[in-house]
Structure 1
Amino acid sequence: MQDFQTLIREVPDFPTPGVIFRDITPLLADAGAFARCIDALAEPWLGQGVQAVCGIESRGFIFGAALAQKLNAGFVPLRKPGKLPPPVVEERYQLEYGVDRLQIREGALKPGERVLLADDVLATGGTLAAARALVERFGVALAGACVVIELEAMQGRKRWNGTSPLRALVRY
């Protein structure tokens, strides 16, 4: 996992003063490292019968789509409002300073389907918790979730709740 950290650039004071942004674009630009990253994300789920990978907008699409290919599963995008044609199912969730929503196409998942959630970063855990609540409305079997980066100081893992695993490749 150490080689992934060397390809994640620290950008101080972005997007606001005091924040250290973790830029994954150097990791994505390195074909070998990106392939190893997808292999590492997929490894715990190989042979686990994952049928769909739900990628969370927007950087979760990058990892989720590649994971779906690696796991021989379908890819289902979880989008911000106004990006999917109706009908959609929606989950509202609290942000630090407001409310946001995630949407999925109605009928995108089937009851009992084994689903994996994928995103780039776990921070406060609100988005991942909303994604979990959204897909569970379909009666799926949640295999778990994976992220490339976990910002441990933000304590987002506490919001994960439940028995399905949450895996992170790099922790800060």
Structure 2
Amino acid sequence: MNRFEEGLKIIEKRCGNGKDNVISLATIAMEPNAEGKPRPYVREVDALYEDGVFYITTWAKSTKMQQIAQHNEVAFAVSNGWFSGNGIAENLGWVLDPKNAELRAKLRKAFSPWYDFANNEQDENCVILAVRITRAIVIVDHGAVRYDMDFVNKIETEEGKIK
């Protein structure tokens, strides 16, 4: 097993198996700051992790979705998970779209304690957001072991680099 595969096993153990993960999701604002530079936004969301992708139910008209429509590269950090990185965000559409049926079932199960309270599935703006990880850092034992992972090429790489 190579180091990329080792890192994947750690991620799966910490975040996989249908677990509801709270992640901080950062986007870029639609308007620049006073100096004309991009301004980051961050918020916590519940996410289901599966095979290098975080899935989130959200509202299509939310600020984060408007920001993602303009700049689809995002950053994330798993709360108390020692796992962070970047990804490409994609709106997969309405939760009740037949193409989303299998994923919707997984999301409903993972988020069952609060799903119906927080989501109005009859509203076509109730959508699934996918964050496909491009690079990530996984830390073990408070930094004693570190995995710098390139998800695009499926290799361990230098810190923050995608080859």
Please report the TM-score for the alignment, with normalisation by the length of structure 2: 0.27
Query: Structure 1 or 2: larger strand share?
Result: 2
Q: Which has the higher contact order (CA 8 A, sep 6+)?
A: 2
Query: Structure 1 or 2: larger helix share?
Result: 1
Larger radius of gyration: 2
